[in-house]
Structure 1
Amino acid sequence: MRHEDSGHPGADLQSADNVSAAEIARFAALAETWWDPAGPMRALHRMNGIRVGWALARFRERCGARPLRLLDVGCGAGLAAEALASAGHEVIGLDASDAVIAAARRHAEGQNLPLRYRVGTLAALIDEGAVFDAVTAFEVIEHVPEPRRFLAEIASLLAPGGVLVLSTLNRTKRSLAFGKFAAEYLLRWAPPGTHDWRRFLTPAEIEDGLGAAGMGLFDLAGMRFDPLRLRFCLSRDVAINYLLAAWKPASSP
């Protein structure tokens, strides 16, 4: 396990970094239980295989089978980052919380994965001139103050021909009923208050933001929960959870 320290600890982040102090604190409180498959992050455990598998397929489609330099934004304690690194990609897991990055490093210790973690923001990476072949942002965009800026920052970090895969929740009546109230208050898949339904984004809204950032949508899929297998599976229905893939054309500056 290789470590990379950052000069941008979570406590020192500024509002200009497009992060929410309240959201950082909310997820930092869950750091020690993040890897418990029966804990407060159990929904992420159940969807991790399907979302990582879908992302890997989109990367192969656009970039071939070569190992990629990959950024996992809002990586939390590393559920997706470890899986992506295990698939052979060189991964940097980025999160604004010191606590969750500490948990991620502890869990990855000794696995000898091509994986580094750092505390910081997209803005800091842009300032450093970082460039990535691919970016993942799973269940992140609904938590940032400025989603369109978030997409623009990712576009700035992608190499021409690079791919973004994100997952999020749609803003529909069904997502309010099932993705918010049932998931948080009945099934307890996430701590109550984790999501603000008003901040959910439709695929059309994200596609508009991608276009403004110079990227183009090329694939979209829904995720639905299979109660018999107790896991998520791919679906054509994007009314609640969905995955989205976009690319930055090779001709982009």
Structure 2
Amino acid sequence: MTATVNADPQELAKFSELAHRWWDPNSEFKPLHQINPLRLDWIDSLARLPGRRVVDVGCGGGILAESMARRGASVLGIDLATKPLRVAQLHAMEAGVEQLQYREVPAEALAVEMPGAFDVVTCMEMLEHVPEPASIVRACHALVKPGGWVFFSTINRNAKAFVFAIVGAEHVLKLLPKGTHEYARFIRPSELAQWCRDAGLVLQQTRGMEYNPLTQRCWLSGDTSVNYLVACRKPA
């Protein structure tokens, strides 16, 4: 890896340490397993996954990538954390999931290598972990073909998000390991919307994603004050 790669070594190490627990639905990744069907259905409802060529940017251990492949998409998952990628590859192989590949490559490098190659680009729970999120947004725009869909999810930056995502989730309820998130890296919807516009993407939909840790229920809403999802399209 070179110094120009848009990644934080500490962030990569953090997720690599937990890699072996990625597919344990009762591990630190339990919330990810619980929200995955919701975000999968939302992506599928807009982009119609069967038969689509998809790249999942920042795929981690492959929870979303594998579920999109099971829906009938041809999926490439990319990440820069080696151990989670190996876990993702092993799980897909053991589960016999077809039309699913993984690569350790920066989004920006893949965008140069395969511009306009994908019908759908997903980048979920990843922007808040990189030094230059706007660069990832530009790469996603380059990767998707004209008329294609780009999906992001991240966490808002405000007092409520700090209380819910860090104090509540990491320290009180212990849903996530301490240090999973850094408040200064949270992203306001207005900031993400501006990066999308600057990259040439057209916003289609913004949805809040809410999660009740007591009932373990999650749902989409109009409340984007903590977790939220954004759907964009590249003009045809």
Please indicate, yes or no, whether the TM-score normalized by the shorter chain is above 0.5.
yes
1:85 matched to 2:69? The reply is yes
Look up the equivalent residue of 1:38 and give its one-letter code: N
Offset, 1:15: 2.7
Larger RCO, structures 1/2 (Cα 8 Å, 6+ apart): 1
**For residue 188 of structure 1, what is the aligned residue in structure 2?**
174
Contact 1:122/1:154 (8 A) holds in 2:
yes
Pairwise CA RMSD: 1.3
The structure 2 residue matched to 1:59, chosen from 47, 57, 78, is 47
The structure 2 residue matched to 1:139, chosen from 98, 116, 125, is 125
Instruction: Flag structure 1 segments of 5+ consecutive residues without an equivalent.
Output: 1-12
1:73 matched to 2:57? The reply is yes
Offset, 1:166: 1.2
In 2: Cα distance, 1:171 partner to 1:40 partner: 22
Look up the equivalent residue of 2:126 and give its one-letter code: V
1:215 matched to 2:209? The reply is no
Offset, 1:228: 5.7
Look up the equivalent residue of 2:136 and give its one-letter code: F
Look up the equivalent residue of 1:117 and give its one-letter code: Y
1:114 matched to 2:99? The reply is yes
Misfit runs of 4+, over 3 Å? 226-229
SS in 2 for 1:109: helix
Count of aligned pairs: 234
Contact 2:50/2:71 (8 A) holds in 1:
no
The structure 1 residue matched to 2:6, chosen from 18, 25, 37, is 18
**For residue 179 of structure 1, what is the aligned residue in structure 2?**
165
Deviations 1:178-221 (A, max 9, x none): 11111011111111001011111111110100010000111011
Look up the equivalent residue of 2:207 and give its one-letter code: A
Deviations 1:48-104 (A, max 9, x none): 1111111111213xxxx7511100011111100111000000000111011011100
Offset, 1:162: 1.2
How does the TM-score come out when normalised to structure 2? Answer: 0.95
SS in 2 for 1:40: coil
1:167 matched to 2:147? The reply is no
The structure 1 residue matched to 2:217, chosen from 231, 237, 243, is 231
How does the TM-score come out when normalised to structure 1? Answer: 0.89
Of all paired residues, the percent bearing the same amino acid is 38
**For residue 41 of structure 1, what is the aligned residue in structure 2?**
29
Contact 2:207/2:220 (8 A) holds in 1:
yes
Look up the equivalent residue of 1:108 and give its one-letter code: A
**For residue 190 of structure 2, what is the aligned residue in structure 1?**
204
Offset, 1:16: 1.6
The structure 2 residue matched to 1:129, chosen from 95, 114, 118, is 114
